């Protein structure tokens, strides 16, 4: 099941009615959402060879939640145990060991499912380079959907307890609330990555239906559907996929249009999914964090990562970059920390050297930006030249697009071929349809419009009577159905 389907619409309507009927009954309401989330998770299609594997992966999810919940309790209690009160060093060692168990377990599970075959293949190539030939062999491992997201969420809970930023709740319903925090279906399979301190307090309170939030939720669902199907899927199915599959068959402008199209596709696909997720949660009375903020308006890579996949970039900052030392110490350590963070961020996206290169490109650019800021004196208020700001925006966007080539291409050979074609290919545009060019143009124009126009549209929608809002959402659904008649592309970030 995915958000762009009639099944999800029917599923959500049923949950919406049942949820608000139980709004004052905390345990029953929580059980309803946990069961609904479990059913939602098992509905994803892993192919005919794995018809029931969703239930196995649901067990993986629940097992991770149970282990980290128990370890977090033990970490918290290590400070107050009789022995810890008399021997502080013993308590500190115990807390560190328990945290290490959590980290090793979670990263071990993630590594097994996501990186085992990558490691086998890499080792085979290294042995081949040394003259030792090993026959190609991979294990039949199917990646659980959303594992990278829920692994980071459950790890953040344990780490926050270790840092004494969070106190594990007690009571009969505490684990059930925690399980819902991890498995809540709007953000379960593709984020945004939720922090426990933001979500758990909401789950403990009885929800209050707010018409303003509900209107905003419907508006986000409508815009998310338009982004996903009308822009992202249209570009993927009508131009981007075929060019990235065979870049040598297409001219320079056609390859360049595919790169621009992919930049728009991945943004509209992921931010569209996030809009639907946040909108669905708002209709149930819960607030999920903002995950995108017009990233292609950025004038530096640093700003880009404040606007793109905000929940991931902030997670990497708080749980990886700062623990490594952040910006403290000598300049070279800052650059090292940025490179390590972005390399691991690239590897988080997938088991491929292409993602490592993508992360390296961003890490190198962030390190260069930080070096430039230090030499130019970033503490002084800059004098902004409008023309220079536009130039910085254009350069940043094209650097992001260069990195997207390695992110999307199926191997280095395809990436190199696409870059070669962009500079050395012919100039015909026979394979670039007017529809694709128009969607790319409209997509970027709408993306670059002032934020005030978006807010005015949202307020205008919210001011409509409820039946009119429902009518608008119904018209959007009809448009989506018509555009999606040629097929719906899977959400890009489901693979991560």
Q: What is the model's pTM?
A: 0.92
pLDDT by position in tens, the chain (length 496): 788 888 899 999 999 999 999 999 999 999 999 999 999 999 887 776 776 788 899 999 999 999 999 999 999 988 766 666 566 777 788 899 999 999 999 999 999 999 998 888 888 888 887 888 777 777 788 889 889 999 999 999 999 999 999 998 887 789 999 999 999 999 998 889 999 999 999 999 999 999 889 999 999 999 999 999 889 999 999 999 999 999 999 999 999 999 999 999 999 999 999 999 999 999 999 999 999 999 999 999 999 999 999 999 999 999 999 999 998 889 999 999 999 999 999 999 988 999 999 999 999 999 999 988 888 765 445 567 788 889 999 999 999 999 999 999 999 999 999 999 999 888 999 999 999 999 999 999 999 988 888 889 888 988 888 888 888 888 888 877 777 655 666 667 666 6
DSSP assignment string, 388-421: HHHHHHHHHHHHHHHHHHHHHSSSHHHHHHHHHH
Q: Residues 305, 306, 312, CA angle at the centre, nearest 5°?
A: 65
Q: How far apart are CA 70 and CA 102, in angstroms?
A: 10
Cβ burial, residue 258 (10 Å; 0-12/13-18/19+): buried
Q: Contacts from 25-32 at CB under 8 Å and sequence distance 24+?
A: 26/173, 26/204, 26/206, 27/173, 27/176, 29/207, 30/173, 30/176, 30/177, 30/180, 30/203, 31/176
Contact 39, 47 (CB under 8 A): no
At 315 the pLDDT is: 96
Q: Which of 187, 239, 309, 349 is catalytic?
A: 349
476: left (phi over 0), alpha (psi -120 to 50) or beta: alpha
The helix (run of H) or strand (run of E) holding residue 422 is: helix 412-424
Q: How far apart are CA 70 and CA 98, in angstroms?
A: 10
Contact 44, 54 (CB under 8 A): yes
What are the structure tokens assigned to 324, written together?
């490594």
Q: How far apart are CA 29 and CA 16, in angstroms?
A: 11
Residue of 15, 1, 2, 13 whose CA lies nearest to 474: 13
Q: Which residue has the tokens 């809970």?
A: 157
Contact 221, 394 (CB under 8 A): no
At 379 the pLDDT is: 47
Q: How far apart are CA 33 and CA 326, in angstroms?
A: 38
Q: Is 349 a catalytic residue?
A: yes
Rounded to the nearest angstrom, the gap between the alpha carbon of residue 394 and the centroid of all alpha carbons in its chain is: 25
Q: How far apart are CA 338 and CA 492, in angstroms?
A: 25
For the chain, how many residues are written? 496
Rounded to the nearest angstrom, the gap between the alpha carbon of residue 407 and the centroid of all alpha carbons in its chain is: 14
């Amino acid at each position: 099941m995915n958000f762009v389907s009639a099944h999800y619409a029917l599923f959500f309507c049923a949950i919406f009615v049942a949820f608000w009927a139980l709004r004052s009954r905390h345990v029953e309401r929580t059980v309803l959402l946990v069961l609904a989330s479990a059913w939602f998770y098992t509905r994803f299609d892993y192919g005919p060879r794995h018809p029931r594997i969703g239930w196995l992966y649901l067990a993986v999810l629940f097992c991770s939640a149970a282990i980290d919940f128990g370890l977090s309790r033990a970490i918290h209690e290590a400070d107050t145990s009789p022995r810890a009160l008399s021997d502080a060093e013993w308590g500190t060692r115990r807390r560190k060991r328990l945290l290490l168990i959590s980290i090793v377990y979670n990263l071990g599970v993630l590594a097994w499912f996501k990186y085992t075959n990558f490691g086998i293949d890499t080792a085979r190539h290294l042995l081949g380079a040394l003259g030792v030939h090993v026959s190609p062999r991979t294990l039949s491992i199917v990646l659980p959907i959303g594992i990278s997201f829920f692994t980071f969420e459950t790890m953040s809970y344990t780490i926050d307890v270790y840092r004494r930023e969070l106190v594990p709740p007690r009571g009969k319903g505490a684990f059930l609330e925690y399980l819902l925090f991890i498995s809540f279906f709007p953000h379960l399979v593709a984020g945004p990555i939720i922090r426990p301190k933001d979500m758990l307090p909401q789950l403990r309170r009885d929800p209050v239906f707010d018409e303003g939030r509900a209107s905003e939720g419907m508006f986000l669902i409508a815009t998310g559907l338009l982004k996903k199907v009308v822009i992202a899927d249209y570009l993927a199915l009508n131009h981007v996929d075929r060019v990235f599959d065979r870049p040598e068959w297409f001219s320079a402008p056609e390859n360049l249009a595919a790169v621009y199209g992919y930049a728009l596709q991945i943004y509209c696909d992921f931010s569209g999914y996030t809009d639907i997720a946040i909108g669905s949660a708002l209709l149930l009375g819960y607030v999920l964090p903002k995950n995108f903020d017009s990233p292609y308006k950025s004038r530096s890579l640093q700003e880009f990562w404040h606007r793109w996949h905000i929940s991931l970039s902030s997670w990497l900052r708080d749980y990886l970059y700062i623990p490594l030392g952040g910006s403290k110490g000598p300049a070279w350590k800052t650059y090292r920390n940025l490179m390590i963070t972005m390399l691991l961020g690239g590897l988080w996206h997938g088991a491929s050297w292409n993602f490592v290169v993508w992360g390296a490109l961003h890490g190198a650019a962030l390190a260069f930006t930080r070096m430039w800021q230090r030499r130019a004196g970033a503490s002084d208020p800059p004098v902004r030249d409008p023309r220079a700001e536009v130039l910085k925006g254009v350069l940043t966007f094209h650097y992001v697009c260069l990195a997207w080539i390695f992110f999307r291409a199926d191997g280095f050979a395809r990436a190199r071929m696409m870059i070669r074609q962009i500079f050395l290919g012919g100039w015909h545009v026979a394979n670039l349809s007017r529809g694709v060019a128009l969607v790319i143009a409209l997509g970027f124009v709408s993306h670059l419009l002032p934020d005030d126009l978006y807010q005015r549209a949202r307020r205008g929608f919210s001011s409509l009577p409820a039946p009119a809002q429902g009518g608008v959402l119904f018209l959007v659904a009809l448009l989506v159905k018509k555009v999606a008649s040629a097929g719906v592309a899977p959400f890009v970030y489901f693979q991560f």
